[in-house]
Amino acid sequence: MKRSLFNSLIIASISLSSLQACAQPEQKIPLDASANNYKLELVSEGIQIPWGMAWLNERDLLVTDRRGELRLIRDGKLVEQTVKGTPKVHDEGQGGLLDIELDPNFADNGWIYFSYSGYEGDGEGYNTSIMRARFKDMTLVDQQLLFDGEPNIKTTKHYGSRIEFDKEGYLYFSIGDRGKRDVHPQSLDYDAGKIHRINSDGSIPKSNPFYNHKTTHKSIYSYGHRNPQGMAMHPKTGVIWSHEHGPRGGDEINIVKAGANYGWPEITYGINYIGTTITDETSRAGMEQPDWYWVPSIAPSGMEFITSDKYPQWQGHIAVGSMKFGHLVLVKLDGDKVTGHSKVFEGVGRVRSLATHPNGDLYLGVDGVGVYKVVPKI
């Protein structure tokens, strides 16, 4: 009798999970018609998790390896020596040395910006930190800590951590909910679950939406985010776009708006990893709807607007890495409206980061492999 009851409960649980898993329609990602027009050329191996990439000039590409190393690819070859002077990072789980971005006036001031899971700040644990430094003789010099997320906690996931400048020179960066979804994303008393905006020197713009709120963290630009790992500036409008990981389903693309609440976890198109419901709501007054969402999740990472005429079929659209399915996703745009998506380079691996060379070539950082260049087939 006990065994029969136990089996009945197991069957009921599996049935519930199956129903929840089917609660959202599955989106099929078709192969892009241009897939045969381009191929991948391996540039460099030896970088285990190429989390972020930035071109200093036409010869030099800096690549962050999440385990805490900063590497230089010069003239298409990985320099054996690692860059010295990197910050101390907590290399565990999803933490480590994360994104990298150049100052808009890099040619004049030489500033390079990094995000990482750091020990700065009060309390035990770690959180997302932002630092800037200059690069000289394979060493980071003139390091300045600009921001450290509060509070420190001991979870090792959801650091978010993409960095992007807009046309006005403001620096945007993301911090995921740090695994504390019921506390952080909807509260303006915490840095986690937010996209922040600061000046390039770390000061807070007075035009930030919560600057005059007494108890709110003034750097917060938008909130209600889960774990944004993609961020890019629209080349024409100058507006910041981002994408973020949902749970099981519900990865999102969002146009970032000042003071906006993107709803996590009060609204979502995803469910828990075990198949149970997070919330019955996918929309609510006062909360933003995603400009696009994926069910099932693609595990997006990296984000780049394609502007080069080297890729005419992709020009004007967005490239996004899919770590879960191991391919590149081409997100189709009509102005500011997402109209569809397709996949290219099936089986390449976990596409972690994207960067555009000054000449327009697109580069992909792939976990466990290294860095590829996208080249047209002759």
Write the CB contacts of 64 (distance below 8 Å, at least 6 apart in sequence).
50, 51, 52, 53, 70, 71, 97, 98, 99, 100, 114
Write the CB contacts of 267 (distance below 8 Å, at least 6 apart in sequence).
279, 281, 282, 283, 284, 287
**Nearest CA among 44, 89, 48 for reference residue 65:** 48
Catalytic residue chosen out of the listed positions 158, 225, 245, 317:
158
Distances (CA, A) of 22 to 18, 235, 254: 6, 37, 24
Inter-residue contact 128 to 161 (CB < 8 Å): yes
- Please tell me the distance from the alpha carbon of residue 264 to that of residue 286, in angstroms, as a whole number: 12
Distances (CA, A) of 338 to 166, 222, 252, 255, 307: 21, 21, 12, 11, 16
Compute CA 361 distance to the chain's CA centroid, rounded to the nearest angstrom: 21
Size of the chain in residues: 378
Specify whether 213 is catalytic: no
Catalogue the active-site residues: 158
